[in-house]
Amino acid sequence: MSRARWTLAVAIALTLLLAWFVLYPIAVVGAEAANGTAWHDFLTRPGEWAALWASLWISLASVVLAAAIGIPLAFLFEWFDFPGRKTLGALIALPVVLPPLVGVIAFLFLYGESGFVARAIQALFKLEQAPWRLQGPLAILLVHAYSMYVYFYLFTRAGLARLDVSMLEAAQALGADRRGTLWRVVVPLLRPSLAGAAILTFMTSLGSFSAPYIFGGGFRVMTTQIVATKLNGDLPLAMVETVVLASVAVVALLILRRTEGNDILVALGKGIAPRPRPIRRAGVRRLTTIAGWGLAVLLLLPHLTLGLVSLVPYGAWTTEILPPVINFDNYRRLFSEAERLRPLLNSLWMASASTAAAVLLALVAGWLVVRQRVALRRVIEGLLVLPWALPGTVFAIALAIAFSTNAPLQLRFVLVGTAVILPLAYLVRALPLTGRGLLAAYRQLDPSLEEAAASLGAGRWRTLARVTLPQLRPGLAAGASLAFVAALGDIVASIVLYTYETRPISIEILSSLRLAETGVAAAFGVVLMIVSAVVLGVGARR
Amino acid sequence: MDALVGPARAGNRTSALSGFLEIRGIEKRWSPDVAVGPITLDIARGEILALLGPSGSGKTTMLRLLAGFEAADEGRIGVGGEDVTAVPPARRRFGMVFQHYALFPHLDVGENVAFGLHGGGGAGVEQKVSQALALVDLTGFERRKVHELSGGQQQRVALARALAPEPRVLLLDEPLSNLDPTLRERTRRELRHVIKRIGITTVFVTHEQDEAFDLGDRIAVLNGGRLEQVGVADELYERPVNLFVATFVGRANVFRGRAARDLGGEPTPDGQVLVVRPERLQFGASGLPGVVRELRYTGPATFFLVEGEDGERFEVLAQPDAARIDERVHVAATRVIVLPEPGPRR
């Protein structure tokens, strides 16, 4: 009995802790926004409505564009065989694992008005000015489409891989031609995958900050509008905007969830996936190969450009097509100047701390939810995944407001301005990643393994160390590496909550860009990219 | 190997009447309607007890109560005079072989077997591991990966792992259900051989009568959470205490009313039924009249499905040429069992 009571006590403690830093700050913002007078401001200013509308249509358009790129790519790589299929197929999924900020500045250096391409065209045609300015909604959409097609690509490929080839054969045996099979069998079966990708793309676009922040110019979406209002010091209005964005996100998620349909559709298809068909006609085959490779290069070009820019010393590259000087000056400065090394170290320790905490909480949650099946398990699971459903901006503002007042009786403390607040913000965002990874791994773990350990005389801690943790390791590593990379590349929480002492890489990249130190910014970007890739590579190892 | 077969384990068979493993009124209530027990059972040192029952009969719950994975709501469990009811599984020193073996996939065979061996240091552990593996005929398998093994080999590794720490009692959960039928019979013999050689007190769960008869010294029949009967195989088969045991253990024809009178020679008392095993029926000149409807040929003998005049159907096991389909026959019984008609369960 006392054991059960102890379990319950842990469950309650965990629930309260999660509620305190995940739910409570949002509740504070909601309550204060409801009491304030800023609703009038929000409702009467056209700029606010414009930002809300912009957020919605940009997100919808991002879904359409990402689908238009990702779905055909998935069919191409899953159903047709051509030289380099496997390597390319893996390569073009890369953008999804890199921090959005890296993608955005890479895009800037390639297609921006002083980017590689614009510069080349300017030099080629001897233009006075850059041929275009990469700004406004179109630029944002371009970046979104470029980074988010991967969701559709991966989800569709996974869906196609789960298809049962005998189902396609059955359709053909029943007289359906190839197109009929596609529309009447394949597409309906893919629906859950496509809906999943659409939800992910929509929610990511809605919460996207770095692309609108850097390419928006005067064009504002809700995320950038909120941060701008907050930085202008109009807290009441910022709170109202936050509540609006959070509500939109929740409503959108609820609506989109309904499109997902029945999972049974997928579960049924438990057969052999269709094998990729070699393309017979030599001409088509050559064309497909070229197109595939061309596409891959196109998609990876921004990151290559980032590498190139990082090698150009400050002020050395002016009007030439190719940089006249290339060396490691920027990297040398980055690692030798104390003030530049600092953000790197800041980011590393804050990401490590938040990841470690997120893993620990996920472990306790997994044990309580899956193994002990405590009464609070749905609440705990809900709190774990809630940060996934709401844009990062919402949490950034909520934490900034809830923890800038000292009111111990309301469980509010001044954390803003201390070294704790950014790791806490990263932790909130990390919870869904480690939580999902761990819960999934825990559910797959055969309980009789732990029982076997117990029957062999292993106590609770020995069982945890020797059996449970080794078995959970893949899920744990995957979740932890994603959480670490997300913390490392975070920008919106950082902008709202950083102090000079605790400034992370993303802030340093932005200030380098502002000072036109593109080389240093790019070098930071490359470091971020490499660390992320290494961490994710380690995390994905079995 | 001698360490495992040592005299402490071989035990004192003469004291077989006293319970080494004592189950006293053990009960587990899942909900007001679903409960297992109360069950009282004594298992002698070195004895192999089979828990036999259909799915949902509570046999697995019983095994998990013994292992300590479930906490009993009532009753107690004792082993060698020590009350272990509240002792957690880790300190109970009961070895368990799980239905799906539960081998640790991240450890190799040797590490799996060594898992329960504490202290003593490298050489001692290594020696015990190789002894345990030798016992199940897997000498030299220490460094093999678990998933590289066949189902039968995995089962033997699981047995070696459970035996290596020299447990007081061995528990087996459907030990053979994951093997294919041809392998099952052979493994059954080997399993019994190993257990008997060590002389360890063993409880195993099965839903197959053959397995229970073949592997168990005694069989406890469970149904709906209750213990129906405990006994050796022929006791259960020839002298079942109720209709459930009679029909669950072996094949049985149940007769009521006129058919029962024709077979038994005198009217069956009210509230009683007549049970006759198929091999205890034979075709003859007089007796219960009927028509042969179907034949099922099994090799040495044939099952004849006979329909009586009141529409009742029963099976007769006889020589393949004893009757033909549609033949009118008379059936007589050489041995009948009279059992009470089961009333509504409490």
The rounded distance, in Å, linking the Cα atoms of B190 and B137 is 10
- Cβ A453–B92 below 8 Å, yes or no? no
Cis peptide before A25 (omega within 30 of 0): no
Calculate how close chain A gets to B27, using CA atoms only, in Å.
Answer: 17
Q: Phi and psi dihedrals of A427, rounded to 5?
A: -60, -45
Given a cut of 70, is residue A168 above it in pLDDT?
yes
Among candidate residues A434, A444, A432, the one with its CA nearest the CA of residue A382:
A432
Q: Strands B94-97, B169-173: parallel, antiparallel or unpaired by DSSP? A: parallel
Q: Which residues contact B179 (CB under 8 A, 6 or more apart)?
A: B151, B152, B155, B187
B200-231 pLDDT, tens digit per residue, is: 999 999 998 889 998 999 999 999 899 999 99
The rounded distance, in Å, linking the Cα atoms of A461 and A455 is 14
pLDDT tier for residue B6 given thresholds of 50, 70 and 90: very low
- Cβ A454–B161 below 8 Å, yes or no? no
User: Of A455, A459, A470, which is closest to B94 when you measure between CB atoms?
Assistant: A455
Angle A243-A244-A247 from CA coordinates, rounded to 5°: 85
Q: Which residues contact B341 (CB under 8 A, 6 or more apart)?
A: B243, B256, B271, B272, B273
What per-residue confidence (pLDDT) applies to B162?
93
What per-residue confidence (pLDDT) applies to B83?
92
- Cβ A458–B88 below 8 Å, yes or no? no
Q: What are the CA-CA distances from residue B311 to residues A435, B258, B286, B307 (Å)?
A: 64, 12, 19, 6
Which of the pair, A25 or A191, is modelled with greater confidence? Answer: A25
What per-residue confidence (pLDDT) applies to A518?
85
A520-533 pLDDT, tens digit per residue, is: 889 999 998 888 88
Q: Strands B48-52, B201-206: parallel, antiparallel or unpaired by DSSP? A: parallel
Beta bridge pairs of residue B129: none
- A456 to chain B: which residues are within 8 Å by CB? 95, 115-116, 161-162, 165
- A444 to chain B: which residues are within 8 Å by CB? none
B28-38 pLDDT, tens digit per residue, is: 988 888 888 79
Calculate how close chain A gets to B331, using CA atoms only, in Å.
Answer: 52
The DSSP code for B14 is G
What per-residue confidence (pLDDT) applies to A208?
92
Q: Which residues contact A319 (CB under 8 A, 6 or more apart)?
A: A119, A122, A123
**Single-letter code of the amino acid located at A320:** E
What per-residue confidence (pLDDT) applies to B346?
43
Which of the pair, A316 or B144, is modelled with greater confidence? Answer: B144
Q: What are the CA-CA distances from residue A232 to residues A227, A430, A492 (Å)?
A: 8, 28, 16
Structure tokens at A300: 């990876």
What per-residue confidence (pLDDT) applies to A254?
86
The answer to whether A401 and A38 have CB atoms below 8 angstroms apart is no
Residue of A nearest to B102 (CA): A449
Among candidate residues B311, B252, B245, the one with its CA nearest the CA of residue B281:
B252
Q: Where are the alpha helices (DSSP H) in A80-115?
A: 85-91, 100-111
The rounded distance, in Å, linking the Cα atoms of A154 and A93 is 7
What per-residue confidence (pLDDT) applies to B7?
41
The answer to whether B52 and B221 have CB atoms below 8 angstroms apart is yes
Give me the residue label for tokens 């609506």: A255
What per-residue confidence (pLDDT) applies to A25?
93
Among candidate residues A387, A100, A377, A49, the one with its CA nearest the CA of residue A225:
A49
For residues A360-387, give the mean pLDDT.
90
What per-residue confidence (pLDDT) applies to A191?
85
The answer to whether B141 and B130 have CB atoms below 8 angstroms apart is no
User: Of B68, B88, B98, which is closest to A448 when you measure between CB atoms?
Assistant: B98
User: Cβ atoms within 10 A of the Cβ of A81, count?
Assistant: 15
Buried b (16+ CB within 10 A) or exposed e, B202-217: bbbbbbbbebbbbbbb
The rounded distance, in Å, linking the Cα atoms of A221 and A60 is 13
What per-residue confidence (pLDDT) applies to B119?
58
- Cβ A451–B99 below 8 Å, yes or no? no
Given a cut of 80, is residue A53 above it in pLDDT?
yes
User: CATH homologous superfamily for A1-32+324-542?
Assistant: MetI-like (1.10.3720.10)
**Mean of the per-residue pLDDT values of chain A:** 86
Structure tokens at A352: 């490590």
Calculate how close chain A gets to B340, using CA atoms only, in Å.
Answer: 41
A499-516 pLDDT, tens digit per residue, is: 888 999 999 999 988 888
The rounded distance, in Å, linking the Cα atoms of A160 and A79 is 9
- Cβ B104–A458 below 8 Å, yes or no? no
Calculate how close chain B gets to A456, using CA atoms only, in Å.
Answer: 5
For residues A268-287, give the mean pLDDT.
70
The DSSP code for B108 is B
- Cβ A471–B106 below 8 Å, yes or no? yes
* Chain B 44-83, residues with CB within 8 Å of chain A CB atoms: 67-69
Given a cut of 90, is residue B10 above it in pLDDT?
no
A217-237 pLDDT, tens digit per residue, is: 889 999 999 999 988 888 889
- Cβ B89–A470 below 8 Å, yes or no? no
Calculate how close chain B gets to A428, using CA atoms only, in Å.
Answer: 32
What per-residue confidence (pLDDT) applies to A262?
53
Per-residue H/E/C for A214-233: HHCCCCCCHHHHHHHHHHCC
The rounded distance, in Å, linking the Cα atoms of B79 and B168 is 8
* B175 interface with A at CB cutoff 8 Å: no
What per-residue confidence (pLDDT) applies to B18?
60
Q: Where are the alpha helices (DSSP H) in A45-84?
A: 46-79
- A467 to chain B: which residues are within 8 Å by CB? 104
Percent of chain B residues past pLDDT 90, beyond the cut: 46
Given a cut of 70, is residue A105 above it in pLDDT?
yes
Structure tokens at A51: 């930002």
- Cβ B93–A467 below 8 Å, yes or no? no
Each domain of chain A, given as residue ranges in start order, spans 1-32+324-542, 50-309
Calculate how close chain A gets to B93, using CA atoms only, in Å.
Answer: 7
The answer to whether B260 and B303 have CB atoms below 8 angstroms apart is no
Among A446, A455, A472, pick the best mutation site for testing chain B contact (most B Cβ within 10 A). Answer: A455
Spell out which chain A residues touch chain B, with contact meaning CB-CB distance below 8 angstroms.
446, 448-449, 451-460, 463, 466-467, 470-471
Given a cut of 90, is residue B195 above it in pLDDT?
yes
Which of the pair, A468 or A129, is modelled with greater confidence? Answer: A468
- Cβ B90–A471 below 8 Å, yes or no? no
B29-82 pLDDT, tens digit per residue, is: 888 888 887 999 999 999 999 999 998 888 999 999 999 888 899 999 999 989
What per-residue confidence (pLDDT) applies to A269?
43
- Cβ B96–A452 below 8 Å, yes or no? yes
* B143 interface with A at CB cutoff 8 Å: no
- A472 to chain B: which residues are within 8 Å by CB? none
Q: What are the CA-CA distances from residue B342 to residues A432, B189, B241, B272, B273 (Å)?
A: 57, 36, 11, 9, 9
What per-residue confidence (pLDDT) applies to B11?
40
- State the CATH class of domain A50-309: mainly alpha
**C-alpha of B248 from chain center:** 12
- B162 to chain A: which residues are within 8 Å by CB? 455-456
* B303 interface with A at CB cutoff 8 Å: no
Residue of A nearest to B162 (CA): A456
- Cβ A448–B102 below 8 Å, yes or no? yes
Residue of B nearest to A460 (CA): B90
The DSSP code for B278 is G
- B88 to chain A: which residues are within 8 Å by CB? 454
**C-alpha of A375 from chain center:** 31
Percent of chain A residues past pLDDT 70, beyond the cut: 96
- A463 to chain B: which residues are within 8 Å by CB? 90
A452-473 pLDDT, tens digit per residue, is: 999 998 888 899 999 999 999 8
Calculate how close chain A gets to B337, using CA atoms only, in Å.
Answer: 43
The answer to whether B314 and B308 have CB atoms below 8 angstroms apart is yes
**C-alpha of A157 from chain center:** 19
Q: Phi and psi dihedrals of B135, rounded to 5?
A: -60, -35
Give me the residue label for tokens 């068979």: B13
Calculate how close chain A gets to B199, using CA atoms only, in Å.
Answer: 19
User: Of A455, A466, A471, which is closest to B89 when you measure between CB atoms?
Assistant: A455
SS3 B317: strand
Buried b (16+ CB within 10 A) or exposed e, A212-250: bbbbbeebbbbbbbbbbbbeeeebbbbbbbbbbbbebbe
Residue of A nearest to B96 (CA): A455
The rounded distance, in Å, linking the Cα atoms of A525 and A306 is 7
The answer to whether A433 and A358 have CB atoms below 8 angstroms apart is yes
Calculate how close chain A gets to B95, using CA atoms only, in Å.
Answer: 6
**Mean of the per-residue pLDDT values of chain B:** 86
**C-alpha of A482 from chain center:** 9
The rounded distance, in Å, linking the Cα atoms of A153 and A151 is 5
Calculate how close chain A gets to B169, using CA atoms only, in Å.
Answer: 11
A-B contacts (CB, under 8 Å)? 63
B135-179 pLDDT, tens digit per residue, is: 999 999 999 999 889 988 999 999 999 999 999 999 999 988 888
Among A445, A448, A456, pick the best mutation site for testing chain B contact (most B Cβ within 10 A). Answer: A456
Calculate how close chain B gets to A334, using CA atoms only, in Å.
Answer: 42
- Cβ A455–B96 below 8 Å, yes or no? yes
User: Cβ atoms within 10 A of the Cβ of B178, count?
Assistant: 15
- B105 to chain A: which residues are within 8 Å by CB? 471
Among candidate residues A93, A88, A105, the one with its CA nearest the CA of residue A527:
A105
Given a cut of 80, is residue B302 above it in pLDDT?
yes
Residue of A nearest to B117 (CA): A456
Beta bridge pairs of residue B253: B276
Among B91, B115, B154, B159, pick the best mutation site for testing chain A contact (most A Cβ within 10 A). Answer: B115
What per-residue confidence (pLDDT) applies to B237?
92
User: Of B68, B88, B102, which is closest to A452 when you measure between CB atoms?
Assistant: B102
Calculate how close chain A gets to B319, using CA atoms only, in Å.
Answer: 47
pLDDT tier for residue A427 given thresholds of 50, 70 and 90: very high
